[in-house]
Amino acid sequence: MTHLTDPKMKECVEACNQCYQMCLHEAMNHCLESGGEHVAPDHFRLMMNCAEICQTSVDFMLSRSPFSYPLCKVCADVCEACASSCEKIGMSDCARTCRECARSCRVMAA
């Protein structure tokens, strides 16, 4: 995404894209195939919420919406919650990706 001139925004868009892909992929594949605690409603719902808020945050940033900053704050909160949930059930790669996205979104929201 070389057309983004703000390095903070570029990093945040990339982190949100990675988190979106990770959460959607893991929810639809690993979690559904593993069953048990991986498909517990609170965890599964949180993973899907995380994927959606990350995708929406990217859309808002790319359109230069003035609402992208408060949305990034919400995205950081959702990503952090998702990271904690993933960590509890041993999904360390997902937790790491969510935490990186949360960090980048906090920088963007500041």
Q: What is the pLDDT of residues 12-68, one digit of tens each?
A: 999 999 999 999 999 999 999 999 999 999 999 999 999 999 999 999 999 999 999
Matching residue, tokens 């639809």:
28
d(CA 86, CA 80): 10
Matching residue, tokens 């690993």:
30
CATH class of segment(s) 7-109: mainly alpha
